[in-house]
Amino acid sequence: MSNAIQTADLEWQQVDGIDVPVSKQFGDVYFSKDNGLLETRHVFLNGNDLPQRLAALHDYQYFCVGETGFGTGLNILALWQLWQQARPDNHSHLHAISVEKFPLSKADLIRALNAWPELAPLAEQLIAQYPLPIPGCHRLSFPQERFSLDLWLGDAHDVFPTMVKTHSVNAWFLDGFAPSCNPDMWAEQVLNHIVRLSDYGTTFASFSVAGVLKRGLTAHGIQISRPRGFGHKREMLKAIWTSPENPQDDEHSNNTVAITEKKTQLNGSKAKTIAIVGAGIAGLSTAWALAQRGHQIKLYDQTAPLAGASGNPLALLNPKLSPIKQSHEHLMTVCWQYALRHYAQFNAFRPLQIDQLALKKTDELLALAKQYPTDLLHAQNATESALTTLYPSLHLTQAGAVSPHQLCDQILQHPLIQFEVAHIQKLVQKEQQVQLYNTREDVLAQVDHVVVCCARQSAELFAEYPPLKPIRGQVSWANNAEYALPLNQAFSYGGYCMQLDPQQLILGASFYPQREDSDILPEDHQHNANLITDVFPEYAAHLPAVTEWQGRASVRAQSPDYFPLLGQLDENSEIYTFSGLGSKGFLFAPLCSEIIAALILGEACPVPVRLLQRLHPQRFQKKMRAKKPYFQPGSADPH
């Protein structure tokens, strides 16, 4: 993966009053000067028979479209518009995957999409979630539309090999600049991975009929036809990968697709009942992700939601960012980007900025400001800080805070989430379902899948479970109405501080490994007071005496390598786990919940393979280390 993402370098041409972007990098237009939207519909939508295929989706079916060049987003918006017109009135879902090496800046994207007023309502939603130019996968979700997009930023040569095949791509838009302008996009290695991510029944369409493309597809047994192209173009490419048992002739290509998709059913056609054990942030986020997909959720906790480490009065989304060359598979970095988009849909979210003080490795921390996109990070000397200090800092402009209990209330209002206080004593796999037993040995429920989100108590429901160490932590809050900080400002310095509300400052947090006590202790208040006094002595002097402080203590669960445990311990079981989030639960939970949904439901995975492997709960089992990786890209032929 490249060290940084370079945005597209454009020049603009006026054609019939429309601004047409032209890439200086490749010397080619982004869309047809004749009519780019009509060309997209002709080549990519009709070329993949999408009007008929999307309209025929069954309840809960998941359809995936892949694209090799995102560009202005025109193809994706045209696909989305078609989905609005053709989608059945059920729980089917359309997902798109697109790769882009040189993304447009947001300003250029807005200018380019102004050419298509009929797409404006969709373009506005896309622009609102359009990601920063940071390498890796950016998941954009539009749940009310039953539509989602994974936008992978980076070179196709680097990106495609990292994609995990948790669901086959059903149709491909083989786009990008012409092979003569951008030969790397059409290289054999890229096409091999496109086929790897596909399956029998997958279709392909392209404006190009270049020999390199035809040879690359036919080498895998994919059958090609060349119907009339758009406008002045004599031909376009239309192709389908047919199974040896189901050979295709051009006259019956639609039937071949229908037969194949009916056979595979894409990924099922009924609602699932899924039990989630544990109602901390892991369980709540997983419940939300699955309920948003239309599945029935039974959520259990021994006492109450947020009774454990997730129940503090306020959670700070404070990522420690990696060097940019590692960002595409750095868990904290990719989770931070998704978390900000995810929490923005809830009233519990407060956007803010953070000054991360450089207490050690100063040069390394401050150097990040030059690696990331402009205006995201600023290296500040001590005199630029909002509070008097001796330390320089890294100013992060995009961060946030979450009110856990307010978030919980909104999640539990979802009509498909049913919460119950119960102590789940035992899980028993019975054929394709799982039975949940309480302490009286009563069967509480029989469900399709279970996700265990009980932190260290998760081990009680498995025969073997990776080690999780307890870490005691206490947060404190005190009245500071006279010296209140701005509500959109936080500080991180080994501890952290920000306004809990306009009247109170919240400070945290103590950190004591291998301790499981949760009493509120004066010495922990003093610990938090010492942390802020060390860096902001003048400000700390205005705070009340620690004897007047309030607080909350809880026990976090941390894995030995600081990565959460996410997935199945037994691949033959319908029991999953999601635990070990440590002190970053609110940062990790939204994206990790999307991953667990992908694993359970067979959807596209929003992280690269190496990161998914690092999350797998089997990684601590020595006997597994000699075997093949838990997830791997695989060979080009999935059969």
Q: For residue 203, what pLDDT band results from cuts at 50, 70 and 90? A: very high
CA angle 10-67-26, nearest 5°? 30
Query: Over 100-112, what HEC string results?
Result: ECCCCCHHHHHHH
Residue 627, pLDDT score: 44
Going along 403-539, which residue ranges are E strands? Answer: 417-421, 424-430, 433-438, 443-447, 449-452, 469-479, 489-492, 496-501, 504-508, 512-513
pLDDT tens, 161-185?
Answer: 999 999 999 999 998 656 655 566 6
pLDDT tens, 336-361?
Answer: 999 999 999 999 999 999 999 999 99
Higher pLDDT, 257 or 77: 77
Q: Which residues pair with 18 in a beta bridge?
A: 15
Is the Cα torsion angle 408, 409, 414, 418 positive or negative in sign?
A: positive
pLDDT greater than 70 at residue 34 = no
- Provide φ and ψ at 424, rounded to 5°: -80, 115
The number of beta carbons lying within 10 Å of the beta carbon of residue 431 is 6
Indicate the pTM of the whole model.
0.93
Residue 554, pLDDT score: 96
The tokens for 389 are: 């200090």
Residue 181, pLDDT score: 58
Q: What is the C-alpha separation between 410 and 347, in angstroms, rounded?
A: 8
Residue 267, pLDDT score: 52
| Residue 6 one-letter amino acid | Q
Q: For residue 543, what pLDDT band results from cuts at 50, 70 and 90? A: very high
Residue 178, pLDDT score: 60
Residue 182, pLDDT score: 58
pLDDT tens, 587-625?
Answer: 999 999 999 999 999 999 999 999 999 999 999 875 444
